[in-house]
Amino acid sequence: MSKKVNKIEMVFMLVVLLVLGAAAVNWALKGAIHYQKEVQVPDLRGKSANEALEMLAPYQLAIKKEGSEFNDSIPVGTILRQHPLGGSTVREGKVVRVTLSQGGETVTVPDLVGQSLRSAEISLRKSLLSLGEIRFQPSVKYPKEAVIAQEPLFQKTVSKNSFVHLTVSEGPPKDGTTLMPDFVGKKWEETQVWSKKSGITILRVDDPSSAQSSETVVEQNILPDAALTAEVTVRMVVSTSKNP
């Protein structure tokens, strides 16, 4: 009977010790928390992450990025929001969570060259961009109403809703001006027909090492749609490769 009593007393004492130990740990933690000073959180809005770190350091506060958002009016990397708010009273060691600006939302400019003006407008709307200035110029390379050039160029990254300016073909010139066609990839015979009709002299240079099929124009020294005069000589490189 005495052995059973002793076991009960030992279990009771162990429970008491565990309770006292837990109470001591709890008291120590509370004491450590209350030992930390109360500080006022600085207002970090509009500051960069580095500036925020410098502002929080004297108050023994930490910072953590909680997320980021697009914002057209706030520069990239600038703090939009924080929690706790600026002016709040917290204890040292508190973590201040912040949301950063990603700047304005960006998009990639589509390739509009060769498209009709109508198709180009639709492509711009789908890409969240706006049609800017339209300039017309004569062209023999592109049909009337086709886009000749664009600014910004294809694959450039720009802000959403940016303007894209276009140069559009108004067809062949009506004042008798001769424009340079694009003969690259076409047969040499076509250039001869054009030369006789326009009165423009062509200088042929053979290229036996070309990968193009024989009698194909691989290069011309004057860009398409450049204005020509009778004094101009156009230099063309023509493939004489024996490969099929």
Percent of the chain with pLDDT over 90: 77
How does residue 73 score in pLDDT terms, banded at 50, 70 and 90? confident
Per-residue pLDDT tens digits for 229-240? 999 999 999 999
Q: What is the CATH number of domain 106-169?
A: 3.30.10.20
Q: Strands, DSSP E only, in the chain?
A: 38-40, 62-69, 79-83, 89-91, 95-101, 106-108, 130-137, 147-151, 157-159, 163-169, 178-179, 201-207, 217-220, 227-228, 233-239
Phi, psi of 74 (to 5 degrees): -115, 130
Average confidence (pLDDT) over 90-119: 95
pTM recorded for the entire structure? 0.63
For residue 216, list its beta bridge partners.
187
Domains 106-169 and 178-239 share a fold: yes
Helix and strand counts by DSSP (H, E) for the chain? 4, 15
Q: What is the CATH number of domain 37-104?
A: 3.30.10.20
Alpha-carbon distance values, 106 to 21, 36, 129, 159, 210 (Å): 59, 45, 10, 4, 42
- Burial class of residue 71 (count of CB atoms within 10 Å of its CB; 0-12, 13-18, 19+): middle
Going from N- to C-terminal start, the domains of the chain cover 1-35, 37-104, 106-169, 178-239
Averaged confidence pLDDT in the chain:
88
Average confidence (pLDDT) over 51-74: 92
How does residue 50 score in pLDDT terms, banded at 50, 70 and 90? very high
The encoded tokens of residue 76 equal 């990239």
pLDDT above 90 for 3: no
How does residue 1 score in pLDDT terms, banded at 50, 70 and 90? very low
Class of domain 178-239: alpha beta
pLDDT above 90 for 190: yes
DSSP code for 73: T
pLDDT of residue 81: 95
Per-residue pLDDT tens digits for 90-101? 999 999 999 999
For residue 113, give the nearest of 157, 159, 169 by alpha carbon: 169
